[in-house]
Amino acid sequence: MIKSRTKYEATTEEISRLFESKGMGKIVSIAPLGDGEFNAAFKVGCNDGKEYALKIAPPADATVLTYEKNMMDSEVFWYGQMRDNTDICCPEIYATDFSGEIIKSNCFIMEMMPGEPLWKFNFTPEESAKVQAEKIGMLAKIHAVKNDKYGYRQTGLYDSWYEALRAMAANLVKDCKNIGYETPDGEEFIRLIDKNEAVLLEAPCRMVNFDLWDSNILYNDGHLIWIDPERGFWGDPVADFITIGAGQKAPLSAKIEEIAIYNRTAKEKIELNRHTEIRYACAVAYLALIEEVEKYVRYEPDHPNYIRNTVDARDMYDMAFDVMR
């Protein structure tokens, strides 16, 4: 399990008491699960022969970003949205515990899904193309889920994507200052959000995952399974193209093939034009701001992920600002 400043260190006794309190039986095995850098996760085997996944939010005294507070409740919500509104394969939630009475942090128990993350597989070009198309198809499915308010459920919703994105960025800038750092790029991002207000006001309100990296998709016998939707929000669907194709450092115009695949199944098509380029660039700049600020709360300056975040954020800012200006 990756070490970071936010992971809850649960004891065997805590996990055992939790499972017994939820009627899940007695535990016979516990092992770290997954490669996430924020929550703690465990594979828990019980005396009924079944295995479950236990996910635990950071401890109450951990320094987290504003949008990350109460994010576990949001994750449970987004799993529900996928299960209720799409045919996407994702885990079933068996029990939640937000009381803090046993494990002193929010947690939930869910179905242990088969398979391994996509990044572990050495696909042939044909297999890789098929997986990519299925991932894009899953985005089209969640983007069919609509809402009339924008933003994160855990921080408050807004009447427009412009208002929501501006508030989301402002929270990160405030977070950065509260931990003793300045973010000139974050301040510039807010200025450019205001400059492009009219364009952002055009964005529809859809379910957005914003985290569809290969570590969050399991592959099992030709099937894809979506996990870890906690960073979702109601907003501009074009933001989900960050993780597709050429990646987060490339403009939307570099993803023509991926847009074409999406448009073949999506109910609402994405048209590549100046306005969608700007909207996409805003999403890239937002991710850059997240990566810039989160490195201060998760890692020491000499940690490889601190360095990774610094380099990635710079590249994303440069690309996005060129488009937004």
**What would the DSSP string read from start to end of 137-161?**
HHHHHHTT-B-SSBB-TTT--BSSH
Number of domains in the chain: 2
Do 59 and 142 share a structural domain? no
Q: Nearest Cα to 12, choosing from 29, 36, 35?
A: 29
End-to-end CA distance of the chain: 41
Q: Residues with Cβ < 8 Å from 175, sequence gap 6 or more?
A: 65, 66, 293, 297
Do 131 and 72 share a structural domain? no
CA distances from 122 to 125, 169, 263, 271 (A): 9, 37, 27, 33
Do 206 and 163 share a structural domain? yes
Give the Cα separation of 48 and 46 in Å (integer).
Answer: 5
What is residue 234's predicted lDDT score, i.e. its pLDDT? 98
What is the CATH number for 252?
A: 3.90.1200.10
**pLDDT tens per residue across span 228-263:** 999 999 999 999 999 999 989 999 999 999 999 999
Do 178 and 240 share a structural domain? yes
Query: Domain boundary at 111, 135, 161, which?
Result: 111
7 domain-assigned:
no
CA distances from 30 to 1, 107, 264 (A): 13, 16, 44
What is residue 62's predicted lDDT score, i.e. its pLDDT? 87
Residue 133 CB neighbours (<10 A): 15
Query: Domain boundary at 111, 135, 150, which?
Result: 111
What is the C-alpha radius of gyration for the chain, rounded to an integer number of angstroms?
20
Tell me which of 35 and 127 has the higher pLDDT.
Answer: 127
Residue 87 DSSP one-character state: -
CA distances from 140 to 133, 199, 207 (A): 11, 22, 10
Judge whether residue 187 has pLDDT over 80: yes
Judge whether residue 4 has pLDDT over 60: no
Range 307-318 average pLDDT: 97
What is residue 1's predicted lDDT score, i.e. its pLDDT? 40
Judge whether residue 2 has pLDDT over 50: no
Q: Are 34 and 1 in contact (CB under 8 A)?
A: yes
Judge whether residue 35 has pLDDT over 90: no
Give the Cα separation of 263 and 268 in Å (integer).
Answer: 7
What is residue 271's predicted lDDT score, i.e. its pLDDT? 96
Sign of the torsion formed by the C-alpha atoms of 80, 117, 67 and 185? negative
Dump strand ranges (E) for the chain.
27-32, 40-46, 51-56, 93-97, 107-111, 116-117, 206-208, 217-220, 223-226, 233-235
134 domain-assigned:
yes
Coil/strand/helix, residue 220: strand
What is the CATH number for 85?
A: 3.30.200.20
5 domain-assigned:
no
Give the strands of the sheet with 223-226, arranged side by side. 116-117, 217-220, 223-226
Give the Cα separation of 293 and 121 in Å (integer).
Answer: 31
Confidence of residue 282 (pLDDT cuts 50, 70, 90): very high
Q: Whole-prediction pTM value?
A: 0.94
What is the percentage of the chain residues whose pLDDT exceeds 90?
Answer: 91
Tell me which residue range forms the domain holding 43.
12-111
Do 170 and 286 share a structural domain? yes
Look over the chain and give the mean of its residue pLDDT values, rounded to a whole number.
95
